[in-house]
Amino acid sequence: MIHARGLVQKFHTGRGKQKREVLAVDGVDLDIEEGEVVGFLGPNGAGKTTTLRMLTTLLRPTAGTATVNGYDVVADSVMVRRSIGYVSQAGGTFSQAQAGDEVVDHGMLYGLSRAEATERGKALFAQLQLDGLWERMPKNMSGGQKRRLDIVMGLVHEPTLVFLDEPTTGLDPQARANLWEHIRKLRSERGATVFLTTHYLDEADELSDRIIIIDNGRIVAADTADNLKAQVSGDLVDLEVADDDHVTTAAEKLTSIATAVETDGRHVRGRVRRAGRAVPGLLRDLESVSIPLDSIEVIRPTLDDVFLTLTGRSLRDADSTTTSDAPDGAEQSEGARS
Ligand SMILES: Nc1ncnc2c1ncn2[C@@H]1O[C@H](COP(=O)(O)OP(=O)(O)OP(=O)(O)O)[C@@H](O)[C@H]1O
């Protein structure tokens, strides 16, 4: 579906003494198979959009090669464009036409009949909560409504490969949940392949079969969210021992399956590679030496823990403006996004 080898993008900025070279993408290899939903994560400026723009033929690679749906992004760029759906970060520019007409024209450009484009467009309007806005001019829509219209435009021709650049940024929680549902259906009902960038770690975790993390233009990790979390830090297991006398023995028992074991009052904590598999044995072990527990908690690492371990930085710190959950009313503040 998507295969890239050594993709590079260099930008030249400024003039004279201010002249600078920016290596936005620095040798990216990708292999994305049919039917996969892949989440492309990285802090601001890591190279996500630039990679997407090369794969969707909007930007010619400085070096390297890529095929999308079997077509070369340079030699067969027209075929690549015809075979994909793309929702850009910036959003499309709309004419003075009504939203529904824009959608139908867009569908017809991809070879649908007027009736088909209208039917699919209206179904997408309903699914993405744009009911009643078919005849509204996009310029009179809120930021979030325009964002959802962008998504309708990217999906109306039912592409089997869809690129979504931060599709849910600026959407309120309800619209975000609806879009997640829609992305899941694209895969489960139509077998579509989805390549999406996002700043929301929970979104990447929830939706993606596989996560690819880019930092400073290079891929630093590519695997399922579970495998990435397991490789990196393991789960945090927190035992609350019922009485002070047994804390030391509990710590010894935990040490047999965990690393970085520490005690804090009656709490004994440690990192365990796959807690789901290891904890039942630990509980039997504790019971066999009659150590009573008040509670046990298993805290799974987040994708942010993964990024922190790989790069020494937190994705949240690297990008503090957009990683928090979209607040209520985010639709209104979308225009202010940096
Ligand atoms: N047209 C351009 N000219 C010069 N530099 C650019 C251009 N486009 C992107 N860059 C630079 O390339 C780097 C990668 O940018 P890119 O937009 O791909 O990052 P990103 O991971 O998508 O970031 P964000 O999460 O903020 O969208 C950044 O340093 C950016 O400033």
CATH number of the structural domain spanning residue 38? 3.40.50.300
Asked whether the beta carbons of 100 and 112 are under 8 A apart, the reply is no
Phi/psi at 227 (5° precision)? -65, -40
Q: Is 46 in the pocket of ligand 1 (CB under 6 A)?
A: yes
pTM, 2 dp? 0.79
Query: What is the rounded CA–CA span in Å between residue 47 and residue 24?
Result: 5
Q: Is 42 in the pocket of ligand 1 (CB under 6 A)?
A: yes
Q: Are strands 193-197 and 37-41 parallel, antiparallel or unpaired?
A: parallel
Task: Kindly tell me the number of DSSP H helices and DSSP E strands found in the chain.
Answer: 13, 14
pLDDT for 170: 78
Q: Which range marks the domain in which residue 215 is found?
A: 2-229
Q: How many angstroms separate the alpha carbon of residue 13 from the centre of ligand 1?
A: 12
Q: Is 13 in the pocket of ligand 1 (CB under 6 A)?
A: yes
Q: Is 24 in the pocket of ligand 1 (CB under 6 A)?
A: yes
Whether residues 34 and 135 share a domain: the answer is: yes
Q: How many angstroms separate the alpha carbon of residue 7 from the centre of ligand 1?
A: 15
Whether residues 133 and 255 share a domain: the answer is: no
Whether residues 202 and 126 share a domain: the answer is: yes
pLDDT for 322: 38
Closest CA to 25 of 39, 11, 35, 13: 11
Whether residues 52 and 124 share a domain: the answer is: yes
Whether residues 203 and 256 share a domain: the answer is: no
Question: Helix 143-155 and helix 173-190: axis angle, to 10°?
Answer: 10
Structural domains counted in the chain = 2
Whether residues 201 and 248 share a domain: the answer is: no
336, amino acid identity: A
In a domain, 309, yes or no: no
198, amino acid identity: T
In a domain, 20, yes or no: yes
In a domain, 307, yes or no: no
How far CA 149 is from CA of 140, 152, 320, 332, in Å, comes to 12, 5, 27, 15
For 147, the token pair is: 């964002």
Asked whether the beta carbons of 239 and 293 are under 8 A apart, the reply is yes
- Point out the residues of the chain with pLDDT beneath 70: 90-94, 233, 316-338
Mutate to test the pocket of ligand 1, among 11, 55, 212 (most ligand atoms within 8 A of CB): 11
Whether residues 209 and 277 share a domain: the answer is: no
In a domain, 196, yes or no: yes
Whether residues 117 and 201 share a domain: the answer is: yes
pLDDT for 332: 36
In a domain, 315, yes or no: no
Whether residues 13 and 74 share a domain: the answer is: yes
**Ligand 1 atom at minimum distance from 322 CA:** 25
Q: How many angstroms separate the alpha carbon of residue 45 from the centre of ligand 1?
A: 5
In a domain, 317, yes or no: no
The model's pLDDT over 270-326, given as tens digits with 9 standing for 90+, comes to 988 888 889 999 999 999 999 999 999 998 888 888 888 888 787 766 543 333 333
Long-range pairs for 68-73: beta carbons < 8 A, 24 or more residues apart: 68/1, 68/2, 68/161, 69/1, 69/160, 69/161
pLDDT for 90: 67
Q: How many angstroms separate the alpha carbon of residue 185 from the centre of ligand 1?
A: 31
Q: How many CA atoms lie within 13 A of 193 on its CB side?
A: 15
Asked whether the beta carbons of 283 and 296 are under 8 A apart, the reply is yes
CATH number of the structural domain spanning residue 254? 3.30.70.100
pLDDT for 318: 58
Whether residues 193 and 260 share a domain: the answer is: no
Whether residues 43 and 128 share a domain: the answer is: yes
pLDDT for 67: 97
pLDDT for 324: 37
Whether residues 250 and 216 share a domain: the answer is: no
